[in-house]
């Protein structure tokens, strides 16, 4: 009986779960006026909270540029992590007290952290280059070096 009860509940959960995958059943029909009203309210809330200005709320940032900026922030956090690992490896070397296993562990930590820093540095430069090229393509600007503009 318990097995049949479980199968029955699983069937009902699957039936209603797949019902959510049908767009006509899972989404309410929103009119264009309602969408405009919601966007206006969200923009007013963002301006009121000081998150943006009225001009910026009307001109949202391009998602490609936002993705590039997010990638750069993630790489900056990872770079900070690897710098902390270098400091940790140095601390292990200082506190080794002549123990060869602790010295080797500290050296290994520093070596791996430096390799990680080099990879992050290369990734960061590639992300910066790609983001600047994307901005130039979006703005339809002529060929620039990219050194004159900051992100």
22-26, 88-92, 94-98, 138-142, range with the lowest pLDDT: 22-26
**Which residue segment(s) compose the domain that 72 sits in?**
63-139
Residue 24: φ, ψ to 5°: -65, -30
Q: Is the pLDDT of residue 82 over 70?
A: yes
**129 touches 146 (CB < 8 A):** yes
Q: Total structural domains in the chain?
A: 2
The whole-number average pLDDT for the span 111-116 is: 94
pLDDT grade for 84, boundaries at 50, 70 and 90:
very high
Tokens of 30: 């929103």
Q: Report the predicted TM-score, pTM, of the whole model to 2 decimal places.
A: 0.53
Do residues 25 and 76 both lie within one domain?
no
Q: 72 with 133, same domain?
A: yes
Between 79 and 139, the more confident residue is 79
- 39 lies in the same domain as 88: no
Is 94 among the domain residues?
yes
Mean pLDDT along residues 17-33:
60
C-alpha–C-alpha distance, residues 80 and 74, integer Å: 10
Domain boundary among 43, 58, 73: 58
CA neighbor of 80 nearest in space, from 128, 124, 14, 20: 124
């Amino acid at each position: 009986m318990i097995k049949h009860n479980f199968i029955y509940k699983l069937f009902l959960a699957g039936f209603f779960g797949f019902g959510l995958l049908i767009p006509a059943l899972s989404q309410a029909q929103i009119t264009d006026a309602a969408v405009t009203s919601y966007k206006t309210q969200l923009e007013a809330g963002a301006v009121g909270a000081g998150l943006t200005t009225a001009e910026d709320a009307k001109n949202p940032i391009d998602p490609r540029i936002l993705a590039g900026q997010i990638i750069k922030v993630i790489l900056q956090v990872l770079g900070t992590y690897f710098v902390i690992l270098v400091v940790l490896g140095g601390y292990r070397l200082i506190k080794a007290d002549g123990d060869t296993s602790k010295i080797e562990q500290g050296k290994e930590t520093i070596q791996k952290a430096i390799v990680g820093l080099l990879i992050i540095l290369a990734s960061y430069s590639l992300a910066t280059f790609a983001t600047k090229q994307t901005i130039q393509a979006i703005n339809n600007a002529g060929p620039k070096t990219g050194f004159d503009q900051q992100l």
